[in-house]
């Protein structure tokens, strides 16, 4: 436990002193800002209802590409740079090492996620808390936003756990990032596998893909304001399984 905290502190500090982390945050916020403003303009011009969860679903999609960038270094870089050798000869259980690193990345992710609250604030300033007048202000459902944030928070944990697993699998950061991007993308598009014609993917396969898809477990529940036990469980299970496999992979260095 103590070592988890030690590793976590080091990792989180690492994120906040590294220019890469700021560049990632900058890129994510800029992309989100562009899509957010485009969407606002479009909705105002076409008199459509506001969608408070759009920023979050975009954020979740961007994480398919950015989460691997956050996690690739965690083990692959240490293995490549040789710093892992000292780390692994410390009196630390491998699972503490894995959890510490995981929590560090997850907290950094949460900071990024928290920054997106600015977009929600902007939307609320012209809806629920907008100056009243005519035409009437629309409202967004704050409960729905809360549920969506809980969902995307858990989703992030799952993506990071998967990224971490690939980072522990290889010593090459780029390979780790590509592998986890590919897997995350597949798990992400699994939700919309139904768009593939039936001649290529049977409906059973499509439904099976949706069950393991990372997107489907927030798109029809959390994003709509629901906290569903099975979806919450799904993300936690993905995290637990991924971290378990990661621990076994790290541990395997000791007996391979």
Partner 1 sequence: MSFIQRVIPNFTIRRVAHTAAILGSIALLAALIVYLSESALTTPVFVLLVIGLGGLSIWLVLAPDELRDWLMGRQVYYGIGSFILTLIVIAIATVGYSLAVEQNVIIDLTETQNYTISQPSINVLENIENRLRVLSAQAESAGIESDLHFRLVGFYTREQLRDQKSAEFLLRQYVEASTAGLRLEFYDPDVNPLLARQFGYSVIFDNTQITSGPIFLALYDGDQLLTVENIGEPTERNVQNAMLRISLAGEFKVYFIQGQLEADITIESDVGYSAAALILRERGILVDTLRLQDVEAIPEDATAIVILGAQAPYSQAQVDKIADYIERGGRMLVLADPPYADSRDSTLPNRFMLEGDSFNTYLWETFGVRFRENLVADPASSARNEFILTGLRVNTGSPPLRDFQNVPMVMTLARSLDIVEQPTEKQAEYVRSIMILAATSAFGERNLQVVDLGNLSEFDPNVDDAGDQVLATAIYRVNELEQEVQPRIILIGDSDWLANLYISPEDGSDGVLGNILLWANIAEWLTGYADLAEIDVASRPDLLPLYATSKELSRIQFITLFILPSIVLLVGGVVWVVRQRI
Partner 2 sequence: MIEVQGLVKRFGDFTALNHISFKAEEGEILGFLGPNGAGKTTTMRILTGYMPPTDGQARVAGFDVFEQSLQVRQRIGYLPELVRLYPDMTVRGYVEFVAEMRGLKNRRQRAEEVLEMVGMAHRAKSLIRTLSKGMRQRVGLAQALVHNPPVLILDEPTIGLDPQQVAELRTIIQQLGRQHTIMFSTHVLTEAEQVCDRVVIINRGNIVAEGRPDELREKVQDNTRVFVRIQGRFDEKKLLNMLNTLNGVEKSEAFQGGFVVTAKNNVEIRPSLAKAILEQGLNLLELRPLAITLEDIFLEYTRQ
Which residues of the chain form contacts with partner 2 (CB under 8 A)? 2-3, 6-7, 10, 14, 17-18, 81-83, 85-86, 88-93, 253-256
CB of 60 to partner 1, least distance (A): 14
Omega within 30 of 0 (cis) for the link into 17: no
CA 70, 74, 80, 86 torsion-angle sign = positive
Residue found by looking up tokens 């005519």 in the block: 134
When CB distances are held under 5 to 8 angstroms depending on the partner's kind, the choice from partner 1, partner 2, none that residue 212 binds is none
CB of 41 to partner 2, least distance (A): 41
CB of 15 to partner 1, least distance (A): 11
Residue found by looking up tokens 């139904």 in the block: 194
* Beta carbon nearer to partner 2, 4 or 147: 4
Q: How far apart are CA 168 and CA 238, in angstroms?
A: 16
- List of residues 6+ apart from 128 with CB closer than 8 A: 137, 139, 140, 142
Q: How far apart are CA 58 and CA 32, in angstroms?
A: 7
* Beta carbon nearer to partner 1, 83 or 252: 252
When CB distances are held under 5 to 8 angstroms depending on the partner's kind, the choice from partner 1, partner 2, none that residue 2 binds is partner 2
- What does the CA dihedral 7, 8, 11, 12 come to, rounded to 10 degrees? -150
When CB distances are held under 5 to 8 angstroms depending on the partner's kind, the choice from partner 1, partner 2, none that residue 221 binds is partner 1
Q: How far apart are CA 103 and CA 85, in angstroms?
A: 21
* Beta carbon nearer to partner 2, 242 or 247: 247
**Please, what is the Cα angle at 46 between 44 and 50, to 5 degrees?**
50
When CB distances are held under 5 to 8 angstroms depending on the partner's kind, the choice from partner 2, partner 1, none that residue 3 binds is partner 2
CB of 232 to partner 1, least distance (A): 8
What is the token pair recorded at 74?
């965690």
Q: How far apart are CA 168 and CA 106, in angstroms?
A: 16
* Beta carbon nearer to partner 1, 5 or 26: 26
Q: How far apart are CA 208 and CA 195, in angstroms?
A: 14
CB of 244 to partner 2, least distance (A): 19
CB of 146 to partner 2, least distance (A): 36
When CB distances are held under 5 to 8 angstroms depending on the partner's kind, the choice from partner 1, partner 2, none that residue 89 binds is partner 2
When CB distances are held under 5 to 8 angstroms depending on the partner's kind, the choice from partner 2, partner 1, none that residue 114 binds is none
* Beta carbon nearer to partner 2, 35 or 71: 71
* Beta carbon nearer to partner 1, 87 or 232: 232
What is the token pair recorded at 54?
């759009």
């Amino acid at each position: 436990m103590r070592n988890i905290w030690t590793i976590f502190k080091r990792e989180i500090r690492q994120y906040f002193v590294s220019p890469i982390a700021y560049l990632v945050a900058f890129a994510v916020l800029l992309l989100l800002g562009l899509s957010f403003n485009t969407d606002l303009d479009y909705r105002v011009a076409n008199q459509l209802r506001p969608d408070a969860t759009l920023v979050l679903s975009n954020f979740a999609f961007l994480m398919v590409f950015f989460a691997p960038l956050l996690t690739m270094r965690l083990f692959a870089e240490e293995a490549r740079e040789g710093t892992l050798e000292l780390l692994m000869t410390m009196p630390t259980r491998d699972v503490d090492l894995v959890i510490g690193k995981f929590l560090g990345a997850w907290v950094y992710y949460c900071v990024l996620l928290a920054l997106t609250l600015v977009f929600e604030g902007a939307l609320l300033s012209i809806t629920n808390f907008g100056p009243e007048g005519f035409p009437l202000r629309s409202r967004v459902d704050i409960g729905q936003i809360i549920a969506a944030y809980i969902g995307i928070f858990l989703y992030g944990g799952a993506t990071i756990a998967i990224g971490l697993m690939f980072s522990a699998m290889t010593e090459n950061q780029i390979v780790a990032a590509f592998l986890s991007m590919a897997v995350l993308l597949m798990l992400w598009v699994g939700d919309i596998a139904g768009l593939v014609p039936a001649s290529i993917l049977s409906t059973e396969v499509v439904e099976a893909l949706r069950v393991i898809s990372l997107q489907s477990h927030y798109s029809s529940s959390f994003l709509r304001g629901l906290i569903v036990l099975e979806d919450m469980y799904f993300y936690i299970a993905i995290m637990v399984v991924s971290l378990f496999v990661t621990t076994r992979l790290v541990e395997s260095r000791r007996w391979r």
